[in-house]
Structure 1
């Protein structure tokens, strides 16, 4: 049975197939793997630990001389993601109907979904299509976790003020530290870095499966067509524009597209914003289900979209993405 060959033929298959399989299990048989012990530890609760290990291994391939490239890529990804999401959110606020909705979408849902990316998904896609400095850009993307950047946008637009506790420097350091440990190990001993790096790709299907165990397809139904539309917009606008920006700079455009998702933690952003400013409470519930639908939609659609772009790029250049990486 040619499992790997089959997965390789599917766009983003090594990541998207385990993720969708787990999401199906979580939707229809949620307690099947939640039986404790090693089973639950590996298949349900392992994503954070495996992503941290993946990040540490990526760090072993980063030299102190090349670390600046990772910082540039991370800040570029973070900036354009926020600018696009906040900009479309502002348009939605300006063009909202009498119910405060734009194309059936709550503006707060648009900003929350489009400015916050799924870090696990980015790591998996950057691991499959990018280089080590692309993976090492991830800690800067963690700055978009939670409601902080959504609140920044709303504060700039004059619709709310800041609230304490919306951003934690400690949380950022906690994400950055595994990468820094890897950088130190790799620079102290190249052989140790090479040893660790050999197994990094094998982590992808395992943490993808664990990520999928946090997805429930009923979120798409609850969010309705508007929630699916939000997910499609997130992929096409933040992912598509990310592709063009990275291509213009001269970096791997596939990695720019890998930011075109919505993080699971963004689901809690509307309620967090409403708790800080009660004027958002009437929209918070609708925005929550729309963001949840975007999380699931982008998790399914983005790997497929990236697989399509990768095949198109390979056909145009006559080279595989990994070969293209070597020249960027």
Structure 2
């Protein structure tokens, strides 16, 4: 059976399929982990430790000696993405209450959901699209995108926008596994190769654990809103990313389109941040469901839009010229 091949045909499938299976289990049999206990409970409820190991391995995979072109490309996209999320957070906070919107069409929407969906790029999706439609240097921009992984940037945005307060040691705790992995990976290339192999392996495991924090009834309640959030991520972050790629990164905008997705790992941010700051607990469940839906939407739409954009810039519309009459 070609289970892996079939799963990988789905955009972000290795993350999203286990996540949906976990959500199905949590919806139909929420006490499964407690019933079996031991290692089964650990796999079901182990979101934070599994993610901690994944962040460590992500850090170990980054090579400090990346070329200047790659750093310029990735730095441009990463800074733009984070800056847009920060501006959106400031604007959203002016009309969305701290406990999120409770009624109406936008019920369940919170600043936490918006920031979590917008501040991280699906690096794997970006790299695969740039391998097909961009240059080697643009594909290598995935290097710094790994810095967005995890709750750190979301915490920084919420904190700097005055929407939350975090103790300094919480910031350190959020980034420490990544930094230790980064240090070890650059001190010993064999360790980098060793730990890097674990990065894709851990994705379905934390996807399944994350799914077990989601009740599918919440996704059904926020489905249309989640689809709208996914479309908003593409439009609101995509336009500045295209402009930054063209005028700062020296590209043609294709990399900007490819970076306008929401990362699968962002689904974990609401739960992790709620554990760090209990003030976000009331909106964590709905935010998780919204971000999960946005991830699916962007994973489907961004490849299509990137392909269309790449075709457009490769074959610009011809200018119409008045044909001269043939000479006799």
State the TM-score, normalized to the length of structure 2.
Answer: 0.68
Q: How does 1:111-260 map to 2 (within 5 A)?
A: 111-117=111-117, 125-130=122-127, 131-138=142-149, 141-145=151-155, 148-149=158-159, 152=162, 166-220=165-219, 224=221, 227-250=222-245, 251=255, 253-258=257-262
Counterpart position of 1:321? none
Q: Deviations over 1:37-85 (max 9, x none)?
A: 111112x133222222222222223233549767765554333113124
Deviation of the 1:177 alpha carbon: 1.2
Q: In the superposition, relative to structure 1, how do residues 219 and 132 fare at CA in structure 2: closer, same or farther (>3 Å)? A: same
Deviation of the 1:102 alpha carbon: 8.9
Deviation of the 1:268 alpha carbon: 8.7
Q: Deviations over 1:244-276 (max 9, x none)?
A: 333333345444422696743377999838xxx
Q: In the superposition, relative to structure 1, how do residues 90 and 316 fare at CA in structure 2: closer, same or farther (>3 Å)? A: same
Query: What secondary structure, in the 3-state scheme, does the structure 2 residue paired with 1:136 have?
Result: helix
Q: Deviations over 1:79-126 (max 9, x none)?
A: 311312432453669xxxxxx9896547x954343134499xx58x42
How far, CA to CA, are the matches of 2:76 and 2:309 in structure 1?
27
How far, CA to CA, are the matches of 1:220 and 1:18 in structure 2?
16
Structure 2: which 5+ runs fail to align? 128-141, 246-254, 312-328
Deviation of the 1:144 alpha carbon: 2.5
How far, CA to CA, are the matches of 1:179 and 1:80 in structure 2?
24
Q: Deviations over 1:176-235 (max 9, x none)?
A: 1111112211221112211221232111111111110111123246xx4xx445433432
How far, CA to CA, are the matches of 1:246 and 1:199 in structure 2?
30
Aligned residues of 2:89 and 2:161 also touching (Cα < 8 A)? no
Verify: 1:54 aligned to 2:54, yes or no: yes
Q: In the superposition, relative to structure 1, how do residues 270 and 186 fare at CA in structure 2: closer, same or farther (>3 Å)? A: closer
Counterpart position of 1:41? 42
Deviation of the 1:22 alpha carbon: 0.6
Counterpart position of 1:80? 84
Query: What secondary structure, in the 3-state scheme, does the structure 1 residue paired with 2:11 have?
Result: coil
Deviation of the 1:17 alpha carbon: 0.8
Q: Deviations over 1:7-48 (max 9, x none)?
A: 122122111111011101101111224322111112x13322
Aligned-pair Cα RMSD in Å: 3.9
How far, CA to CA, are the matches of 2:39 and 2:102 in structure 1?
46
Verify: 1:26 aligned to 2:26, yes or no: yes
Q: Figure out how many residues of one structure are paired with residues of the other and give that number.
A: 277
Query: What secondary structure, in the 3-state scheme, does the structure 1 residue paired with 2:94 have?
Result: helix
Q: In the superposition, relative to structure 1, how do residues 150 and 20 fare at CA in structure 2: closer, same or farther (>3 Å)? A: farther
How far, CA to CA, are the matches of 1:315 and 1:117 in structure 2?
23
Counterpart position of 2:302? 309
Query: What secondary structure, in the 3-state scheme, does the structure 1 residue paired with 2:45 have?
Result: coil
Larger Rg: 2
Q: In the superposition, relative to structure 1, how do residues 47 and 167 fare at CA in structure 2: closer, same or farther (>3 Å)? A: same
Q: Deviations over 1:131-186 (max 9, x none)?
A: 232122325x5242499449725xxxxxxxx8xxx212111111211111122112
Counterpart position of 1:295? 288
Query: What secondary structure, in the 3-state scheme, does the structure 1 residue paired with 2:32 have?
Result: coil
